[in-house]
C-alpha cells in the first residue's frame, strides 16, 4: 500500500487499507482499556488536595512516616522476593539446561506448577502449615512459627515459591541459547567448571537479571499474599482505604506511589532486555554439560526438596484441610455461582485478550524498528502496573453516569479488568511468535494477490497456533486467578472464585476454603495439561 501511495502524483484521497483500519482499531481499544486507567492515575498523582497541580503526593511519600514505612515494606517485599526467587530459580534453570538429570521433562513441568497456582493459594497453604492453628503447631504441640508466618519474611518466602519458575525458565532458555563454540573456546584453555563460571554465566547473566526485575514488579503488584499474611504494603493499603474505610481519595493517593515505582521498574526491564548480548546459538554441537561428579546425589536431592516444598507440601496440606470428597463437593455446591462466574468470565476474558493481543503483537512485530521498541516499552510498563492500581483507575474512569456507569455496574467491568491487566502479556507472547515467521511468507501472499485480511487469516494465523494456544492458556490462568483488581471492581452481589476465597478466609471454616482453593488449582491444571498435549512434539517457547 505504501508503494501505491508513492506513485500517486498528488495527495489524492485514499481509503485507508484494511490493515490500517483494523490495527488502528486494536490500538485505540488497547489505549482505551489498558493505558487510559494508568494515565488517569498518573495525572491524578500530580493533583493536590484541592485539585490543583502539586507534588503533594510525592512529598507525602518521602515525608509521611506511615507512607515511608509502606514504601520500605513494599520495596523489601519486591527486592526480597526477586532475590530469593532468583537464588532458587537460576540454579534450577542451569541444571535443566546443562545437567544430566533423570526424568528432566517431568521435573521441568512439575517445577513450573507453583507459577500457575495463584500466589494467595500458596499463602493459604503456608498459613495451614505455619499458622497458629497450623499443621506444625498441632504436631509440635505449641505455636512455633506463626509470628514468622505472618511477617514480611513469610510473604517473601511464599511469593518466591510462586515466582522462582520465572527465573528458572529464563535462565534455562538463556543457557540453551549460548553458542556452544564460545564454551568450547573456553575448554581449550581451562576446565569445564571455570568455563561455566567465567564464560557461560556472564553470558546468561543479563537474562537472569531481567527475570529478577520481572519478579520484582510482580511482587510489588501482589495483593493476595501480603493481604493474607497481614503485611502492610501499598497494594493492601489501597484496598483497605477503599473497601474498609470508603476513602476513595486516600486509595487513589496510596496507589500513586506504587504506580511510580512500578513504572520505573518497567522501564528498567525494557532497558535491560534491550541491551541483552547476542549469544544466539549457531553451532549444532550441544552445549557444555554441567559436570555434577560426586555432587550428583546432593543435586538431585536439592531439586526434590524444592519440588516437595513448593508443590507437594502445599497441595497435600490443602487436600488434608479440605477433608473428604463429600466436603469438597459441598463446598463446590455452595460456591457454584462464583465458580461458574469465574470460568465464564475468564474464558470470555482470555478469548478477548487473545483477539486483541494477536493484532497488537502482529503490529508490534511488523512495525518499523523505532516504533517497535516504543510499543514494547508500553507493553512492559502497562503489565507492570499493580493490580489494585488498575482497579482504582478503572473505578475512576468507569464509575460515572451514562453508558460507562452501566458497564461498571455489570460483570463486564471484570472482563475489562482482565483485559486491562493481561493484554500486554498476550501481545508480548504473540509478537514473539510473529517475529519467528519470515516476512517473505506474507509478501508472497501479497504478490499472489491476497489482501491483508485474507493473508492475515490464511497465512499468518495458521503459522502461529502454538503462540495463540499459549497466549490463551496464559491469559486464562492469569484471569482465573486475578484478585487485586477484581476485588475492587466486582459489582455488589457478584463474585469470582478468587474474590470469594479471599473474603471467606476470615469468617468460614477453613476446610471449605481449602476445598475451593484445590478446586481452583484443578481448573488451572486442566487447560495447561491440554496445552501440553497439543504442544507435544513441537517445542513451545514462552
Residues in contact with other proteins by the rule CB under 8 A: 179, 181-182, 184-191, 194, 198-199, 202-203, 277-279, 282-283, 285
Nearer to other proteins, 283 or 336 (CB): 283
Nearer to other proteins, 18 or 205 (CB): 205
What CA–CA distance (Å, rounded) separates 127 from 146?
8
Nearer to other proteins, 66 or 197 (CB): 197
Least distance in Å: CB of 440 to other proteins?
23
The string of DSSP letters for 3-70 reads HHHHHSSS----PPPHHHHHHHHHHHHHIIIIIHHHHHHHHHTTB-TTSSB--HHHHHHHH-HHHHHH
Query: How many residues make up the chain in this entry?
Result: 542
Measured distance between the N- and C-terminal CA atoms of the chain, rounded to whole angstroms: 33
Nearer to other proteins, 90 or 531 (CB): 90
Least distance in Å: CB of 542 to other proteins?
25
Phi, psi of 508 (to 5 degrees): -130, 150
What CA–CA distance (Å, rounded) separates 113 from 92?
14
Least distance in Å: CB of 198 to other proteins?
7
Least distance in Å: CB of 161 to other proteins?
32
Nearer to other proteins, 68 or 194 (CB): 194
Least distance in Å: CB of 430 to other proteins?
29
Nearest to 498 by CA among 118, 115, 113, 160: 118
Least distance in Å: CB of 91 to other proteins?
20
What CA–CA distance (Å, rounded) separates 25 from 284?
44
Phi, psi of 47 (to 5 degrees): -95, 130
Residues with Cβ within 8 Å of 419's Cβ and at least 6 positions away in sequence, in order, are 33, 34, 349, 352, 353, 356
Nearest to 257 by CA among 391, 386, 421: 386
Nearer to other proteins, 130 or 186 (CB): 186
Least distance in Å: CB of 283 to other proteins?
7
Nearer to other proteins, 181 or 336 (CB): 181
Answer left, alpha or beta for residue 271, where phi above 0 means left and psi between -120 and 50 means alpha. Answer: alpha
Cβ–Cβ < 8 Å for 27, 360? yes
Least distance in Å: CB of 194 to other proteins?
7
Nearer to other proteins, 193 or 453 (CB): 193
Nearer to other proteins, 133 or 277 (CB): 277
Answer left, alpha or beta for residue 278, where phi above 0 means left and psi between -120 and 50 means alpha. Answer: beta
Cβ–Cβ < 8 Å for 404, 56? no
Least distance in Å: CB of 9 to other proteins?
42
Least distance in Å: CB of 277 to other proteins?
5
Cβ–Cβ < 8 Å for 382, 424? yes
What CA–CA distance (Å, rounded) separates 280 from 178?
6
Nearer to other proteins, 110 or 205 (CB): 205
Least distance in Å: CB of 369 to other proteins?
18
Nearer to other proteins, 63 or 278 (CB): 278
Nearer to other proteins, 283 or 444 (CB): 283
Least distance in Å: CB of 184 to other proteins?
5
Nearest to 176 by CA among 111, 100, 110, 94: 94
Least distance in Å: CB of 317 to other proteins?
44
Residue 14 burial (CB count, 10 A): 10
Residue in the block written with cell 482505604? 241
Strand partners, 47: 53
Nearest to 290 by CA among 109, 93, 108: 93
What CA–CA distance (Å, rounded) separates 377 from 476?
23
Strand partners, 53: 47
Helix axes 152-177, 65-98, angle to 10 degrees: 40
Nearer to other proteins, 143 or 179 (CB): 179
Amino acid at each position: 500500500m505504501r508503494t501505491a501511495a508513492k506513485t500517486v502524483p498528488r495527495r489524492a484521497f485514499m481509503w485507508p487499507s484494511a490493515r490500517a483500519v483494523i490495527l488502528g482499531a486494536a490500538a485505540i481499544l488497547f489505549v482505551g482499556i489498558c493505558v487510559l486507567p494508568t494515565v488517569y492515575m498518573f495525572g491524578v498523582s500530580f493533583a493536590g488536595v484541592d485539585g490543583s497541580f502539586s507534588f503533594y503526593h510525592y512529598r507525602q511519600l518521602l515525608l509521611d512516616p506511615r507512607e515511608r514505612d509502606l514504601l520500605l515494606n513494599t520495596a523489601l517485599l519486591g527486592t526480597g522476593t526477586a532475590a530469593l526467587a532468583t537464588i532458587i530459580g537460576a540454579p534450577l534453570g542451569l541444571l535443566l539446561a546443562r545437567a544430566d538429570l533423570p526424568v528432566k521433562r517431568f521435573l521441568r513441568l512439575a517445577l513450573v506448577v507453583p507459577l500457575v497456582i495463584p500466589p494467595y493459594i500458596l499463602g493459604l497453604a503456608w498459613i495451614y502449615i505455619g499458622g497458629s492453628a497450623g499443621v506444625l503447631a498441632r504436631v509440635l504441640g505449641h505455636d512455633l512459627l506463626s509470628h514468622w508466618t505472618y511477617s514480611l519474611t513469610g510473604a517473601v518466602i511464599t511469593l518466591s515459591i510462586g515466582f522462582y519458575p520465572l527465573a528458572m525458565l529464563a535462565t534455562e532458555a538463556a543457557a540453551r541459547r549460548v553458542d556452544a563454540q564460545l564454551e568450547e573456546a573456553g575448554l581449550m584453555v581451562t576446565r569445564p567448571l571455570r568455563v561455566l563460571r567465567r564464560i557461560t554465566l556472564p553470558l546468561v547473566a543479563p537474562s537472569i537479571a531481567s527475570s529478577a526485575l520481572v519478579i520484582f514488579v510482580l511482587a510489588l503488584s501482589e495483593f493476595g499474599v501480603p493481604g493474607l499474611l497481614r503485611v502492610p504494603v501499598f497494594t493492601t493499603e489501597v484496598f483497605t482505604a477503599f473497601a474498609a474505610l470508603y476513602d476513595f481519595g486516600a486509595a487513589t493517593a496510596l496507589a500513586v506511589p506504587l504506580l511510580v515505582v512500578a513504572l520505573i521498574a518497567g522501564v528498567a526491564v525494557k532497558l535491560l532486555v534491550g541491551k541483552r548480548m547476542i549469544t544466539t546459538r549457531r553451532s549444532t554441537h550441544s552445549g557444555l554439560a554441567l559436570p555434577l561428579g560426586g555432587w550428583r546425589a546432593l543435586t538431585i536431592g536439592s531439586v526434590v526438596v524444592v519440588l516437595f516444598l513448593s508443590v507437594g507440601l502445599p497441595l497435600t496440606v490443602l487436600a488434608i484441610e479440605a477433608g473428604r470428597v463429600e466436603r469438597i463437593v459441598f463446598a463446590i455446591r455452595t460456591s457454584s455461582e462464583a465458580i461458574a462466574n469465574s470460568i465464564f468470565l475468564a474464558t470470555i476474558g482470555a478469548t478477548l485478550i487473545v483477539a486483541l493481543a494477536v493484532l497488537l503483537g502482529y503490529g508490534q512485530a511488523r512495525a518499523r524498528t523505532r516504533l517497535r521498541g516504543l510499543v514494547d516499552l508500553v507493553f512492559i510498563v502497562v503489565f507492570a502496573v499493580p493490580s489494585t492500581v488498575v482497579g482504582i483507575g478503572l473505578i475512576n474512569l468507569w464509575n460515572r453516569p451514562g453508558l460507562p456507569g452501566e458497564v461498571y455496574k455489570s460483570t463486564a467491568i471484570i472482563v475489562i479488568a482482565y483485559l486491562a491487566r493481561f493484554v500486554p502479556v498476550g501481545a508480548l507472547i504473540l509478537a514473539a511468535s510473529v517475529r519467528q515467521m519470515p516476512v517473505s511468507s506474507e509478501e508472497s501472499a501479497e504478490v499472489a494477490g491476497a489482501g491483508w485480511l485474507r493473508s492475515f487469516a490464511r497465512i499468518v494465523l495458521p503459522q502461529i497456533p502454538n503462540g495463540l494456544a499459549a497466549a490463551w492458556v496464559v491469559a486464562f490462568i492469569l484471569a482465573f486467578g486475578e484478585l487485586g483488581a477484581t476485588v475492587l471492581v466486582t459489582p455488589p452481589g457478584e463474585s469470582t472464585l478468587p474474590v470469594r476465597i479471599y473474603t471467606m478466609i476470615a469468617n468460614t471454616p477453613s476446610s471449605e476454603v481449602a476445598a475451593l482453593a484445590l478446586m481452583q488449582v484443578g481448573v488451572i491444571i486442566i487447560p495447561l495439561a491440554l496445552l501440553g498435549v497439543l504442544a507435544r512434539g513441537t517445542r513451545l517457547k514462552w
